[in-house]
Amino acid sequence: MLSVRLICVGKLKEKFYREACAEYEKRLKGYCRLEIIELAEQRLPERPSQAQIDVALTKEADAIRAKIPQGSTVIAMCIEGGELSSEQFAQKLSGWMGSGTSHISVLIGGSCGLDEALKRAAQLRLSMSPMTFPHHLARVMVLEQLYRALNIAAGGKYHK
């Protein structure tokens, strides 16, 4: 069974986000072994300089790298990434699994995004939309799309 590690910068505080994530975690149990790791977001001043942001992103990237299993296929969620339909995402996951991939790590940055080096090293840079979403909502959206894609790959009816 596929193992998926969702590595997120920032903790879910709002009850409605936690409940939505819990629902998709429950649904995903039939398709993969899911692990969600929350990492602390670096504190920044109210109006940080780009240098301060870069330092924070580097520290967050180090923490993220420490949680990516050896040999894991990495998906970096970032606005400049490519867009895939749910069917295309299902095909991508199926292709990886068919070629022996057993572990996927999905990275969701904090409010400042992800470090450039992390994004460059990822096997897939994926965007949900050219629009900007809160990183907490992105977590719900990623879990839903993982569920949808794995359901499509298994020939399920959720997608219809």
Question: 116: which residues sit within 8 A by CB, 6+ positions away?
Answer: 57
Q: Is 81 annotated as a binding residue?
A: no
29: DSSP letter: T
Q: Is 97 annotated as a binding residue?
A: no
Residues above pLDDT 70, as percent of the chain:
98
**CATH of 2-45+69-153 given 3.40.1280.10, 3.90.226.10, 3.30.2020.30, 3.40.50.920:** 3.40.1280.10
Q: Is 130 annotated as a binding residue?
A: yes
Q: Is 131 annotated as a binding residue?
A: yes
pLDDT bin (cut points 50, 70, 90) of residue 5 is: very high
Check whether 81 has a pLDDT greater than 70: yes
Pick the closest to residue 93 from 142, 137, 52 (CA basis).
Answer: 142
**In angstroms, what CA-CA distances link 34 with 23, 52, 65, 80, 143?**
13, 33, 18, 26, 10
Whether pTM > 0.75 for this model: the answer is yes
Pairing of strands 103-108, 2-9: parallel
Q: Does residue 46 sit in helix, strand or coil?
A: coil
Q: Is 129 annotated as a binding residue?
A: yes
Region 23-48 average pLDDT: 95
Each residue of 135-148: pLDDT tens digit? 889 999 999 999 99
Are the C-beta atoms of 10 and 38 separated by less than 8 Å? Answer: yes
Q: Is 132 annotated as a binding residue?
A: yes
110: DSSP letter: B
Check whether 159 has a pLDDT greater than 70: no
